[in-house]
A and B are shown apart, each in its own frame.
Chain A
Amino acid sequence: MRNRLRVMPRGVTGPEVRFGVPLGALAFALLLGAIILAFAGNDPIEAYRTMFDSSLNGWKAQSRTLALATPLILTGLAAAVAFQMRVYNIGGEGQLYLGAIGASWVGLALPASTPTPLMLSAMLIVGALAGACWALLAAIPKAYFNADEIITTLMLNFIALSLMNWLIFGSRSFWRDPRRPVPGGKRLPESAIMPSISGRLHIGIIIAIVAAIFLWWLLRKTSWGFQIRTIGDSPRAARYAGMSVRRKTMAVLALSGALAAIAGVSEVSGVTKGLEPIALTSNIGFTGIIVAVVARSNPLGVVPVSIFLAAIATSGSRLQSIGIDVEVVFLLQGLIFLTVTAGEFFVTNTVSLAHPDTSATGSPPTSEIKAAI
């Protein structure tokens, strides 16, 4: 018998839906995970306690989660601001490398005695400019020749990777430390290191959260932001209203590139403390795209999504050390993230079963999915 799944928007919802649905999804994810863990011969309670202990239980664990979330927030914002205008910047990874290259150049070129605030400001500015310029390499062809930015930004990632590898492995560049047996970057002086807040959590997290609030204000409270969103909804209407789509495209991609690059500045200054291609190529830029999609391009949503993702990811080695196979660990982490994010759909929509004869009544559904049940 063929029934229909009816998807309807919820309209205005209260806190019980806003918070209840994600919590329900989390419970569902943990239940599914428990079944998998039990099948794999592990104790689900012990596994979940370990996950909680290593990511959220106490300030030490929380600061470690926040440290891991810092670059994700920034690359997530980079993707989100572009997505608001329906411009798809897939180049966050490469822009991050450019930020790292630019910032480490400043850190090594300026005298080590430069005061830290001055040094870090210069690194942030040069790093952000490097990322913005890199993004403009895709933005200008997009604005003037309508070149597909998905292709160009993606391809620029590989060029940026090759550039960074060349600086460290392929040449005796300014960045490379000649005394290392395996090539790596010169160490940044103490004045170029982001001060620690607690343990390995550094002030990059403050920069990331300030950037999120600033972006939210820019997009929601300024006419510039209104224009960006209008162009995203309908470029033709925006053009008709006299908005310069070309200039906005370049501005948004440059801003997006600058944000991704600041993630690179934060990593190079707060974590790797030198241009280290091996440590920097951990797909932070690509993960930012996932973060933005899950946060539905809302800058304030990017922060909790990044923290959630970091909290799940940071427990990896602890879970392995209590005897859970790495494959099961990855499966569990993926399952929890996927289920909770998929659960977001039910915050804004309800799904019900309806017989074909009754589906004609009631308010019109946004979409109907035919399902053979």
Chain B
Amino acid sequence: MPLMQKSPRTHFRLLTALLLTLSVIAAACGGSDPSTTEASTEIDQAAADDYSDFKVVMILDGSAEDGGWNTTHLRSGRKVEANFPGIDFSFVEEIEPGQPATNAFQDAVDAGANLVIGTTFYQFDMIDVAAENPDVYFLTWSGFEPQPNVGHFSQASEDGRYMDGIVAGSLTKSNIIGYPVGFSFEEVNRALNAFTLGVREVNPDAEVRAVYLNTWFDPAIEQQAAEALANAGADVIAHEVGSQVYATVMAQNDGYVIGYTNDWSDFEPEAWASSLLFDWSTYYIEQIDAILAGEFEAGMSYGGLKEGWIEFAPYGPDVTQETLDLIDERVAGILDGTFDMFAGPIKDNQGNIVVAEGETIAFGDRSACCQWLVEGIVGEIPAG
């Protein structure tokens, strides 16, 4: 997508290819393995099952091995595969939005797919294909244009980000937490707000410094942002999308990093704090069940902890038991409805009351939130 995105990804791809090759060689040298025989019996059983007529194609915009967004989607897809024995699940990766994406959706339909899952901003790349193929079902992340055979989905990141905020607030000693993000829009602001509310629950003196990078993925710019935040005294950095540079910079500065939908606890383990993980498989499985039962419902689905769309990576070594207990309490509170992070009063960082005492932002309305940043965030939504 952005201009400078290609080369780091390519390097990563080459490295992955090399590692894969080496692992294949290693596996080949290892001789026969009991797990291979196990796998083949599984396939034999699956072939006899009902779901082999159902074809699912997932379309990914980056590498399935990116360790983040696309890996998460593929992981969810693999759970679908496990849930419906014999289902014909496949994916195509590195499909750029625009004409290549439209062609990939068309190819999936031509290959006989019953369900095509688009995992990024493909709304208008797939809209015509969906209209021309009313018998095929589509699920598209961040979509919104109503079509009878299309489901849209978006995750309630705030349910996970609040817990990440509790971790950050309890770990910081300087009371400065960095939060570089790509662009400012509702979903990003909502996650940033939830994070900061979590931080301020355990540490009302801490501030969160939001930095808008205007790129989705650019390790060079991210490196500069991470170093600038570290120099400004930040000892915890949380980020959205992005690369592993934050972990490296925080490890060099004895700080902590909070990831974004990836378990990088093995990478710079001393600096690792936490990360929410998305799991869309519950949504995918529900939708496939509905299609098979002839009860597919088009439209928007929004899910968080309660819906099983949010999970957590292992917490880092320096996260205390006290913090973990509080997180358990808050998670339980969200699940049974006794805890509401957006319960008023909430002030924005300009001093205005945005959620009044006794009010809240209903779960169903959250996907349209927020065009404001809560108290405690240093940074502004770009004006316009």
The answer to whether B98 and A272 have CB atoms under 8 Å apart is: yes
Asked if A95 is at the interface (CB within 8 A of a chain B CB), the reply is: no
Q: Mark B55-77, 1 if CB is under 8 A from A, else 0.
A: 00101000100000000000000
CA distance A74 to B170 in the complex (A): 56
Task: Given the known inter-chain contacts A169-B184, A171-B382, please indicate yes or no for A272 contacting B3, CB distance below 8 A.
Answer: no
> Does A102 sit within 8 A of B, measured CB to CB?
no
Assembly CA distance A172 to B63 (angstroms)? 32
Q: A279 touching B17 by the CB < 8 A rule?
A: no
- A184–B186 contact, CB under 8 A? no
A181 B214 Cβ-Cβ under 8 A: no
Contact partners of A173 in chain B: CB under 8 A: 384
Which one of B94, B97, B142, B368 lies within 8 Å of A326 (CB-CB)? B94
In the complex, which residues 273-322 of chain A have their Cβ closer than 8 Å to any Cβ of chain B? 273-274, 276, 278-283, 313-314, 316-318, 320-321
Report whether B183 and A169 are in contact in the complex, using a CB–CB cutoff of 8 Å: yes
Asked whether A321 lies within 8 Å of B3 as measured between CB atoms, the reply is no
Name the CB-closest residue of B to A325: B17
Q: Considering the chains assembled together, what is the distance between the CA atoms of A64 and B184 in angstroms?
A: 35
Contact between B90 and A316 (Cβ–Cβ < 8 Å)?
no
Task: Assess whether A272 is in contact with B124, with CB atoms less than 8 Å apart.
Answer: yes
Interface string of B71-104 (1 = CB under 8 A from A): 0000000000000000000101111111111111
A282: which B residues are within 8 A, CB to CB?
1, 96-100
Bitwise, B94-129 to A at CB < 8 A (1) or not (0) is: 111111111110111001000000000101110010
Give, as a whole number of angstroms, the nearest-CB distance from B171 to chain A. 31
Stretch from A155-163, A251-259, A343-351 forming part of the interface with B: A155-163
In residues 154-201 of chain B, which contact A (Cβ within 8 Å)?
Answer: 154, 183-187
Q: Is the CB of B185 within 8 A of A183?
A: yes
Contact A317 B98 (CB under 8 A): no
> With A and B bound together, what is the CA distance between A230 and B14 in angstroms?
45
CB atoms of A321 and B124 under 8 A apart: no
A271 touches B183 (CB 8 A): no
The answer to whether A279 touches B3 (Cβ under 8 A) is no
Indicate if the CB atoms of A321 and B186 lie closer than 8 Å.
no
Contact with A along B1-38 (1 / 0, CB 8 A): 11100100000011011000000000000000000000
Contact, CB under 8 Å: A170 / B183 = yes
Q: How long is the Cα–Cα vector from A274 to B102 in the complex, in angstroms? A: 15
> What is the CA–CA distance of A170 and B185 in the complex, to the nearest angstrom?
8
Are B3 and A157 within 8 A (Cβ)? yes
The answer to whether the Cβ of B367 comes within 8 Å of any Cβ in the partner chain is yes
Per-residue contact bits, chain A 200-224, to B (CB 8 Å; 1 contact, 0 not) = 1000000000000000000000000
B39: interface (CB < 8 Å)? no
Report A-chain residues with C-beta under 8 Å of the C-beta of B16.
327
Task: Please report the C-alpha to C-alpha distance between residue A166 and residue B367 in the assembled complex, in whole angstroms.
Answer: 22
B107's partner among A278, A318, A326 (CB-CB below 8 A) is A318
Chain A CB within 8 A of B144 CB: yes
- State which residues 163-190 of A face B: CB under 8 Å: 165-166, 169-173, 179-184
A273 vs B3: C-alpha distance when bound (angstroms):
22
Q: Are A273 and B124 in contact (CB under 8 A)?
A: yes
Cα(A68)–Cα(B102), bound, Å: 11
- Does A56 make an interface contact (CB < 8 A)? no
Of the residues B95, B99, B185, contact of A182 by C-beta under 8 Å:
B185
Q: Select one of B14, B214, B367 contacting A169, CB under 8 A.
A: B214
Interface: B362 (CB within 8 A): no
Closest to B129 in A: A200
- Establish whether residues B92 and A317, one from each chain, have CB atoms under 8 Å apart when the complex forms: yes
Contact digits for B212-243, partner A, Cβ 8 Å, 1 yes 0 no: 00100000000000000000000000000000
Given contacts A279-B97, A318-B107, contact A169 B121 (CB under 8 A): no
B383 at the interface (CB under 8 A from A): yes
In the assembled complex, the CB of A333 is this many whole angstroms from the nearest CB of chain B, namely 11
Neighbouring A residues of B367 by C-beta, 8 Å: 181
Whether B125 and A314, one on each chain, are in contact in the complex, defined by CB atoms closer than 8 angstroms, is no
Of B57, B144, B214, B382, which one neighbours A180 at CB under 8 angstroms? B144
User: Whole-angstrom distance between the alpha carbons of A369 and B69 in the complex?
Assistant: 49
Given contacts A316-B95, A320-B93, contact A182 B125 (CB under 8 A): no
Q: Let me know if B100 and A317 touch, CB within 8 A.
A: yes
| Interchain CA distance A197-B97 in the complex, whole Å | 22
| A191 is an interface residue with CB less than 8 A from chain B | no
Q: Evaluate contact between B103 and A321: CB separation under 8 angstroms.
A: no
Task: Please give the distance in Å from B342's CB to the nearest CB on chain A.
Answer: 18
Question: Of A279, A313, A330, which is in contact with the most chain B CB atoms at under 10 Å from its CB?
Answer: A279
Residues B128 and A200 in contact, CB atoms below 8 Å apart = yes
Chain B's nearest CB lies how many Å from the CB of A198?
13
Q: Inside 8 A of A161's CB, which chain B residues have their CB?
A: 2-3
Chain B residues contacting A166 (CB-CB under 8 Å) are: 382
What are the residues of chain B within 8 A of A325 when measuring CB–CB?
17
Residue pair B17, A327 in contact (C-beta under 8 Å): yes
Q: Report how far A205 CA is from B101 CA in the complex, Å.
A: 20
Task: Select from chain A the residue with minimum beta-carbon distance to B152.
Answer: A181
CA distance A318 to B104 in the complex (A): 8
Candidate in A93, A276, A326 with the most chain B CB atoms within 10 angstroms: A326
A89 interface hit (Cβ, 8 Å): no
- Shortest Cβ distance from A93 into chain B, in angstroms? 7
Contact across chains for A314 and B124 when beta carbons are under 8 A apart:
no
CA distance A54 to B92 in the complex (A): 15
User: Is B384 a contact of A317 with CB atoms below 8 Å?
Assistant: no
Also in contact, A314 and B2, with CB within 8 A (given A181-B186, A271-B98, A273-B124): no
Q: Out of B2, B14, B99, B128, name the residue touching A68 (CB < 8 Å).
A: B99
Q: Are B214 and A170 in touch, CB under 8 angstroms? A: yes
CA distance A67 to B142 in the complex (A): 26
Q: Complex Cα distance A162/B218, Å?
A: 14
Q: How far is the CA of A182 from the CA of B216 in the complex (A)?
A: 13
Residues 334-368 of B contacting A (Cβ, < 8 Å): 367-368
Decide yes or no: A64 and B384 within 8 Å by CB, A182-B142, A281-B2 being known contacts: no
Q: Known contacts A271-B99, A279-B125, A318-B107; is A171 also within 8 Å of B63 by CB? A: no
A165 to B11 Cα, complex, angstroms: 26
Chain A residues with a Cβ under 8 A of chain B: 54, 64, 67-68, 93, 157-158, 161-162, 165-166, 169-173, 179-184, 200, 267, 271-274, 276, 278-283, 313-314, 316-318, 320-321, 325-327, 330
14 A–B pairs (Cβ distance < 8 Å), ordered by A: A169-B183, A169-B214, A181-B142, A271-B102, A278-B97, A278-B121, A282-B99, A282-B100, A283-B3, A321-B92, A326-B13, A326-B63, A326-B92, A327-B17
Tell me the B residues contacting A by CB distance below 8 Å. 1-3, 6, 13-14, 16-17, 57, 59, 63, 90, 92-104, 106-108, 111, 121, 123-125, 128, 142, 144, 154, 183-187, 214, 367-368, 382-384
